[in-house]
Amino acid sequence: MPELWEDLEKLPLPLQEEFHKAAKTLSLIFKEDEMASWAKEGLAISTQTARSWEAGVEYLKVSGEVAKYLSFSSFTQWTRCGAYLSQDSPSLAVAYFRAGPGIVVNLRPQHIARWAGLGRSMYKGTWKSSTLASKFFEVSPSLVRNLSFWDVEVFAGLIESLSAKSYDLANECLTLGNQALAGMGREREAFLSLCRTQTETSWREVKACFEVVDKSLPQIEESQRGRFLRLAEHLAREGSRETSVFLVSGSTALGKIKPQAQQHILDLCDALLSVSPQAVHAFLRSLDSVLSRITLAQLDTWFDRGARLIKENPEGGLAYFRVESNTSEAALESLSSSLELDRVRGVLMLYCRALSGADIEVTESSELVHKGIGWVSEGHATTEGTKVYLPPIIDRYPSKDENFGWYKVVSTHQVAHIEFGSFLFAFEKPSGLFQDTRLEREKALLAQVREDPEMKAYLRGAEGNWITDMSRYFSLLSDRKLALDVFTILEDGRLDYRVKQEYPGMKHIYHQVQESALESRPPLLELPLRQAMVELLVRFSLEQHHGLMVPRKYVKAARVLAKIQKRLHNVAASVEASAEATLRAYEILSRIPNEREPQEEWESQDFDTEEEFSEEELSKLIEEMGTGAQGEEEEEQERYESPEDIDFRGDFKPELVQTLNRMRSGQAPDGEDGSEPLTKEMLEELLRQSAELGMQNEGEDAEAMAAFAQNLMKEAGVTPPTSRPGQGYGPIVHVDEQGGALEAREPKTYVYDEWDFRAADYKPKWCIVREKTVEEGDLKFFGDTMRNYAPLINDVRRQFELAIPESFRKVRRQPDGDEFDLDAAVEAMIDRRSGITPSEKVYWFRNKQERDVAVVFLLDMSASTAEAIDEGRPMVGDQDAPDDPVEYMMWLRSRREGLVRRHYKRIIDLEKEGVALLLQALESIGDIYGIYGFSGYGRENVEFYVIKDVEESLTDNVKKRIDKISPLHATRMGPAIRHATAKLVQQEAKTKILFLISDGRPQDRGYSREGVEKEYAVHDTHMALVEARRLNITPFCLTVDKSGHDYLKAMCGDMNYEVLGDIWTLPQRLPQLYRKLTI
Amino acid sequence: MAKTAEALYNQFTIEEYFVEEEPFYLPVSDEVELFEAAYAAQVPILLKGPTGTGKTRFVEYMAWKLSQPPATAKRRSKASQNGHLIPLVTIACHEDLTASDLVGRYLLDAEGTRWIDGPLTRAVKSGAICYLDEIVEARKDTTVLIHPLADHRRVLPVEKQGLVLEAKKGFQLVISYNPGYQSAIKDLKESTRQRFIAIEFVPPPPEAEAKIIEKESGCTHRQALALAKLGEKIRNLQEHGLKEGASTRVLIYSGKLMAKGIAPRRACHVAVVWGITDDHEVQRSIEEVVSSIFE
């Protein structure tokens, strides 16, 4: 040893210190000779190279710790490996040694050399590689703790091959992998294999995969994770470049379904994989939305159809799995039994209109709820007098037809409220079926409450200021909640009966619905008495009359209730009859305490009596019952709860509807003008009184009440809405190109399909066209154009005027007509004389076919129209300076101004001039015409600018708008053409023309496939033109793009088009072409 | 009444077409009195209203009614009393109807030319009720032709012959017009319009319509009532997707099918739903109405 100490003294001081420190610890572990060997190794390491003393320090530092776990031979091996590394790079050795204590705890000694080898193989002699290798040693302790050594080796191999591409990436992956792999179970192997595959194809993705994997994999059922990863690997091998995206979306999709079903989905994926790997991703992506519409069992059918399609038409199949094709939509549609309101809204609306004869709209219940005017239940059907509100989706029955039947029943019931006058209740109108007692009661009540200060509101109403007849009526009854419940039951029962009488075809289904409503009613026995009796009334109204449990002491009362209800089963029964019936039923029910009754006090009864209701029987019953519950202490009773909803009947709020109706018409209920206008305070008072809001505590939420009142007034249009324009509509829908169908939520927006030529199918609701009116500019532009082109204008006008008499010319040699065509007649006579069969075409007639043309001009307002056209071209009219001196001066001035204003002309300027000229021509010939511009960015923002609407007449405003036509964004032609077509279709003209003026090929964000296939846009445009032609519209395309020939041929097919060689001729050529086209 | 080739078909010359049997017509309001008054006062009549509201039937009915000897309605209608009968000349107007089609034209003959009277001329000569159905369909110049006939002059100039024909007593001009088709092109000229008194025809109220359907089709009373209700409901859709509601005529047709044993829903589909619109959604809604009304 002494010779060693000598050597040691030559070393740097920190090293010496470490040496001594380590020696102290090790002397307890190692034997003498082992100590010597250790010291020798340490010295050797430290002195290997100039900078290796750092490695030595590190070695000495940790050797004490390491020695605890290793036998001396393993220790030596560990040391040798470090020494070996140190020869290559001392810093590598530093990292190696530093990792030692962490490693030896978990790593089997025989693996140490291999482990060191892993790090060594990452080191390629460069600074970057040494950082990476060091990093590897750094994370190794945690790696070996969590992974099997085998996995560590694979991972290291992965990192090494990544490092061949990018050290930075490898470095990051190392850190990420350390965390991500730790959390994995058996799927780790599959994941590493996936990563390996990617190093060959898309190595950048590896990092992304590491990033997302720990978030996404746990969503999948553990046993399926490996399978899912193998699927991803397969896809990656097939060339998928977005494995990480697949991992995220795929696992999200799988995560949303039940663990048991995941295997099945993966089976489907495997099946699809062999046909079209691309479709797998699409399938998983749409899985969630598809499964929200159909069941897992139905998914197979939907999938099969797609799988078959994809074999024949890969593109179409892809679109199918993305649910971006009509075929796919249709398949889903037919499979799913649930019915969305949107799909049948039109039919239901017309149906409701037909039944009621009123302009009824059909919309979702939630819309009414959002208005905050008293309706709160989103799932219920209801009406507020002008609209029928229905739940957005029905999924009660296993088939679409049955679900539609439900919609039909529900809307028929709501319409019945309107058709059979639920809201037309008039307080003083006789009921016909009952002795009218409303007025008497009112008088009695008035006498009773006149002195009572608490009834002020009532008295104010009684002075002739009732807001509605309905509230006047309900004010008669002290328990308004009970009153409303009874009235609702009786009125709904009346309507059910009436509907079945008026619409015998509905009987069957109505019956079914009533039956199923009965099934879900609560047992009578379980209810407190008063509620049980109200429930009994519900049963009667649902036509259940047999085997009903009734408390023994109220059997008589029940019989009278049944008779009251029965009386409304009459086509002549009006809402007033329901009201009178309610008064009577209320008399009975309010006398029944809401207490529990022991079971033995109930008995089963049948109520299908033929006996008629009689007033005497009622008054006798009332007498017998005495004051009943009315006098008793409330404490013993349970709080009265309204009966459970009968869902097909929906919500019924007669008082609110009458209030709304009154506010809408702005009149008092009896139609007298001069009554006080409705104030917000009055409204609040009404709402507070009304039972329809379902407010539990009086005075609760004065704010809410005020808000209700405010909303009601807004709804009725009493106060101008204070909201900003556009509020109330959803935010601008921003969906990227991968998204699904769009929806037009704002006014003046329209949705159109788009043609995907490779899928040979439409993408449904793909584009939103937003119609805007061009803002008005200066009239000067129009005037200037007129002056600049004065000679041309005269010429054009003359040509068009000449065109008119042409249509009145004689048509000769006709089989019949106004007169003999003399020439033909003479010929015929000669023929006859000479024994030849004469022609019978010997008449002429005037062709008085009137000119009947409607035309829509569609201007390209894309950014490219801002291109300047080559300068130096003399302006039109340069040559013909006027002779007259005054005119000449003006001409000169106008020219100078023109020159000062702009030195060059843009394509759009010529388009504008052409339009201005056309206006003149069109006005002279009297055709119906519209001028529009289009541009936009993205499929959700196709802008459609109105310069002159078809219906509009030529005003100065139109002329001013021309000035403001300016280059904007991109060119998505298809939707613009479809929108223009829609405008033309509304015209009645015999000849309809769609004139498209463009400056280049259609293009827009996402208006091509993967941004490379321009054909997509061309094909969509072509399809839009074909659609127009199918609708009897003649399309014509004019382009100023000299290279237009190549794509115009594809775009227009056999339709007419012209490529304008000389842009400058556009203003002249436009009227000429139009003339040629229409005459 | 000249019936030739009786076994095969009935053929009448224009002047000899009389309405002999009483056609079924249910007056909705005072149109019968109005017609009688106008006939007596020699005022031409414009019948206005959508298709299938009974305009043509009304004219037939009036032709029959006016032919009845006053107060002796029971002794009517034997050939010997032809003198009383008023012929009914019906001309369906169409786009290509020319003045010569109405007035007459020269035809070539072996010897030269021969003049043939047009139906209008013959009606004028025989003192018939001349009914120009769907007058707006005819060309404007043709409609002007009837102007001298439709005012105090009551003459028909026959230019080609160089004649002016004075209308025989009893000649009555009736035109019909369906404002539903109104487009700018197919509208009556003011000058034509203002030569007529106008009787407006609207679909009859449900009870009356049910009576008509029952009588005409032979279906049951219940079916007739249901059909009338269907008609009423479909008319509610007018201007909401339908240009015109279901006419009484199509309701009668479905009633006839029902009377022959076709299931009511099916009868309505073929006679009403598919007939009045091609719009799928509207069809579907009407079918729903049908299935609500009929079991």
Residue A1006 has pLDDT above 70, yes or no: no
What are the φ and ψ backbone dihedral angles of A254, each rounded to 5 degrees? -65, -35
Residue A279 has pLDDT above 70, yes or no: yes
CA angle A913, A916, A922 (to 5 degrees): 135
- Considering only CB atoms, which chain B residues are within 8 Å of A508? 295
Average pLDDT over residues A862-882: 55
Residues forming a β-bridge with B113: B108
* Percent of chain A scoring above 70 in pLDDT: 82
What are the helix (H) ranges across A372-477? 400-419, 438-449, 456-460, 469-474
Whether B285 and A408 lie within 8 Å, measured CB to CB: no
Whether A348 and B285 lie within 8 Å, measured CB to CB: yes
**So what's the pLDDT on residue A595?**
84
Among B237, B285, B291, the residue with its CB nearest the CB of A505 is B291
Tens digits of residue pLDDT in A117-126 = 888 888 877 8
Token code pair at residue A899 = 């020159």
Average pLDDT over residues A671-693: 63
SS3 of residue A837 by DSSP: coil
- Considering only CB atoms, which chain B residues are within 8 Å of A354? 233-234, 236-237, 285-286, 289
Q: Give the residue on B whose Cα is nearest the Cα of A359.
A: B240
Q: Would an 8 Å CB–CB cutoff place B280 in contact with chain A? A: no
What are the φ and ψ backbone dihedral angles of B115, each rounded to 5 degrees? -85, 135
Q: What DSSP element (H or E) covers A573?
A: none
Whether A818 and B100 lie within 8 Å, measured CB to CB: yes
Residue A874 has pLDDT above 60, yes or no: no
**So what's the pLDDT on residue A729?**
33
CA distance A466 to A458: 9
Q: Would an 8 Å CB–CB cutoff place B286 in contact with chain A? A: yes
Structural contact between residues A387 and A363, judged by C-beta atoms closer than 8 angstroms: yes
- Least confident range of A3-12, A512-521, A646-655, A1052-1061: A3-12
Is pLDDT larger for residue A904 or for residue A171? Answer: A171
**So what's the pLDDT on residue B50?**
84
Token code pair at residue A42 = 């340490």
Q: Within chain B, how many helices (H) and strands (E) appear?
A: 12, 9
CA distance A912 to A958: 12
Q: Give the residue on B whose Cα is nearest the Cα of A348.
A: B285
Q: What rounded mean pLDDT belongs to chain A? A: 77
CA distance A305 to A326: 13
**So what's the pLDDT on residue B34?**
94
Among A349, A356, A505, the residue with its CB nearest the CB of B295 is A505
Average pLDDT over residues A238-262: 80
CA distance A405 to A391: 14
> pLDDT-based confidence at A360, cuts 50/70/90?
confident
Residue B215 has pLDDT above 70, yes or no: yes
Mutation for A interface: B97, B279, B292, most A CBs within 10 A: B292
**So what's the pLDDT on residue A719?**
44
Q: Would an 8 Å CB–CB cutoff place A850 in contact with chain B? A: yes
Whether A353 and B236 lie within 8 Å, measured CB to CB: yes
Candidate ranges A608-617, A766-775, B169-178; pick with highest mean pLDDT: B169-178
Q: Give the residue on A whose Cα is nearest the Cα of B293.
A: A503
Q: How many other C-beta atoms can be found within 10 angstroms of the C-beta atom of residue A568?
A: 26
Q: Would an 8 Å CB–CB cutoff place B183 in contact with chain A? A: yes
Q: Would an 8 Å CB–CB cutoff place B186 in contact with chain A? A: no
Please give the single-letter amino acid code of residue B104: G
CA distance A324 to A765: 9
Token code pair at residue A663 = 């506010």
What are the helix (H) ranges across A256-383? 259-273, 277-291, 296-312, 314-321, 326-335, 341-356, 365-371
**So what's the pLDDT on residue A451?**
67
Residues forming a β-bridge with A281: none
The half-sphere exposure of B226 on its side-chain side, counting CA atoms within 13 A, is 25
Is pLDDT larger for residue A488 or for residue A264? Answer: A488
Average pLDDT over residues A516-520: 87
- The torsion of the CA quartet A372, A378, A383, A387, rounded to 10 degrees, works out to 80
**So what's the pLDDT on residue A170?**
83
- Considering only CB atoms, which chain B residues are within 8 Å of A412? 292
Query: Cα separations (Å) of A698 from A485, A562, A626, A653, A704?
Result: 19, 33, 29, 19, 12
- Considering only CB atoms, which chain A residues are within 8 Å of B293? 502-505
Average pLDDT over residues A628-646: 69
Whether B292 and A848 lie within 8 Å, measured CB to CB: no
Residue A735 has pLDDT above 50, yes or no: no
Structural contact between residues A425 and A368, judged by C-beta atoms closer than 8 angstroms: no
- Considering only CB atoms, which chain B residues are within 8 Å of A347? 281, 284-285, 288
Residue A159 has pLDDT above 80, yes or no: yes
> pLDDT-based confidence at B222, cuts 50/70/90?
very high
> pLDDT-based confidence at B155, cuts 50/70/90?
very high
Average pLDDT over residues B106-132: 85
Residue A85 has pLDDT above 90, yes or no: no
> pLDDT-based confidence at A618, cuts 50/70/90?
confident
Tens digits of residue pLDDT in A283-342 = 888 888 888 778 777 788 888 888 888 888 888 888 888 888 888 888 777 777 778 887
Average pLDDT over residues A864-890: 55
Average pLDDT over residues A157-163: 83
**So what's the pLDDT on residue A956?**
77
- Considering only CB atoms, which chain A residues are within 8 Å of B234? 354
**So what's the pLDDT on residue B225?**
93
SS3 of residue A465 by DSSP: helix
Among A354, A357, A506, the residue with its CB nearest the CB of B285 is A354
Can you tell me which residue has the tokens 């008449």? A843
Residue B227 has pLDDT above 90, yes or no: yes
Q: Pairing state of beta strands A749-756 and A761-773? A: antiparallel
CA distance A947 to A915: 10
Whether A350 and B285 lie within 8 Å, measured CB to CB: yes
Q: Give the residue on A whose Cα is nearest the Cα of B140.
A: A848
Residue B204 has pLDDT above 70, yes or no: yes
Sequence-distant (≥ 6) Cβ neighbours of residue A952 within 8 angstroms: A930, A958
Residue A508 has pLDDT above 80, yes or no: yes
Query: Cα separations (Å) of B72 from A83, A635, A748, A824, B27?
Result: 141, 86, 68, 59, 21
Whether B285 and A988 lie within 8 Å, measured CB to CB: no
Query: Cα separations (Å) of B184 from A542, A673, A989, B142?
Result: 55, 41, 10, 18
Can you tell me which residue has the tokens 């000429």? A1072
Q: Would an 8 Å CB–CB cutoff place B233 in contact with chain A? A: yes
Among B139, B233, B284, the residue with its CB nearest the CB of A347 is B284
> pLDDT-based confidence at B33, cuts 50/70/90?
very high
**So what's the pLDDT on residue B211?**
93
- A517-540 per-residue burial string, b: 16 or more CB within 10 A, e: under 16: beeeeeebeebbbbbbbbbbbbbb
Distance from CA of A345 to the nearest CA of B (A): 10
Tens digits of residue pLDDT in A469-496 = 888 888 888 888 888 899 999 999 999 9
**So what's the pLDDT on residue A762?**
80
Q: Would an 8 Å CB–CB cutoff place A841 in contact with chain B? A: no
Please give the single-letter amino acid code of residue B25: Y
* Percent of chain B scoring above 70 in pLDDT: 88
SS3 of residue B60 by DSSP: helix
Whether A355 and B236 lie within 8 Å, measured CB to CB: yes
Residue A242 has pLDDT above 50, yes or no: yes
Q: Would an 8 Å CB–CB cutoff place B171 in contact with chain A? A: no
**So what's the pLDDT on residue B197?**
93
* Percent of chain A scoring above 90 in pLDDT: 2
Structural contact between residues A144 and A101, judged by C-beta atoms closer than 8 angstroms: no
Among B265, B288, B294, the residue with its CB nearest the CB of A351 is B288
Q: Would an 8 Å CB–CB cutoff place B292 in contact with chain A? A: yes
Query: Cα separations (Å) of A1027 from A329, A643, A1021, A1077?
Result: 21, 56, 10, 19
Distance from CA of A511 to the nearest CA of B (A): 13
Residue A699 has pLDDT above 60, yes or no: no
Q: Please tell me the pTM assigned to this model.
A: 0.58
Among B226, B289, B295, the residue with its CB nearest the CB of A354 is B289
Q: Give the residue on A whose Cα is nearest the Cα of B229.
A: A502
The dihedral through the CA atoms of A289, A293, A294, A295 has a sign that is positive
Tens digits of residue pLDDT in A938-969 = 777 788 888 888 777 777 778 778 777 777 77
Sequence-distant (≥ 6) Cβ neighbours of residue A667 within 8 angstroms: A673, A675
Average pLDDT over residues A773-779: 77
> pLDDT-based confidence at B32, cuts 50/70/90?
very high
Among A353, A408, A503, the residue with its CB nearest the CB of B240 is A353
Q: Would an 8 Å CB–CB cutoff place A507 in contact with chain B? A: yes
Whether A350 and B281 lie within 8 Å, measured CB to CB: yes
Average pLDDT over residues B118-122: 91
CA distance A309 to A304: 8
Residue A258 has pLDDT above 60, yes or no: yes
Q: Would an 8 Å CB–CB cutoff place B220 in contact with chain A? A: no
Q: Would an 8 Å CB–CB cutoff place A342 in contact with chain B? A: no
**So what's the pLDDT on residue A877?**
42
CA distance A175 to A180: 9
Residue B4 has pLDDT above 60, yes or no: no
Whether B236 and A348 lie within 8 Å, measured CB to CB: no
Average pLDDT over residues A661-684: 60
- Considering only CB atoms, which chain B residues are within 8 Å of A351? 285, 288-289
- Considering only CB atoms, which chain A residues are within 8 Å of B291? 505
Whether B233 and A348 lie within 8 Å, measured CB to CB: no
Token code pair at residue A152 = 């560590």
- Least confident range of A354-368, B53-67, B178-192: B178-192
Average pLDDT over residues A909-934: 78
CA distance A855 to A946: 14
- Considering only CB atoms, which chain B residues are within 8 Å of A353? 236-237, 240
With 0-12 / 13-18 / 19 or more C-beta atoms within 10 angstroms meaning exposed / middle / buried, residue B35 is buried
ipTM: 0.82
Token code pair at residue B111 = 């010897």
